[in-house]
Amino acid sequence: MNGYQLTFYTEQNRKHGHETVCEWLLSMVKSLGIRGVTVISAAEGIGHAGARHAAHLFQLADQPVQVTMAVTEEEAELVLSAIRSERIHLFYVRFPVEFGMLGDDLPSEKTKRLSLFHRAQH
């Protein structure tokens, strides 16, 4: 499948209303039916205004965060439109990608599953 990888950059402490921008993004994309979103916390970074942002030993509020997803062209437009309509100041990168799933989602019935409390199951 062809589409886009959208990556949004924010800080752990940035708010939109009563929740963080990261939480808002996750809720919004879930409401659009988009799955497969990853949040990555970084050790440090330099923001668009040139300020250095970093996770500190006792406080993670200024920690840089990335929210990344692979979406179709239509989904990308829905996500970007939702952010625009909320007037959220947010840096993003969008670039074309090919994406899909490999392998089986369900384990074979013949696969042995081990448990700490039970014998191997067939």
Domain ranges of the chain: 2-98
Identify residue 31 by its one-letter amino acid code: S
What's the CATH architecture for 2-98? Answer: 2-Layer Sandwich (3.30)
Report pLDDT digits (tens) over 27-56.
999 999 998 899 988 766 666 666 565 665
Whether 112 contacts 122, CB under 8 Å? yes
Whether 1 contacts 72, CB under 8 Å? yes
Whether 30 contacts 75, CB under 8 Å? no
Which residue did the predictor score with more confidence, 57 or 35? 35
Given this model, what pLDDT does residue 63 score? 76
Q: 38 forms bridges with which residues in the sheet?
A: 68
DSSP letters of 3-23?
Answer: EEEEEEEEETT-EETTEEHHH
Report pLDDT digits (tens) over 81-115.
999 999 999 999 999 999 998 887 766 666 555 55
> Would you give the DSSP letter of residue 120?
P
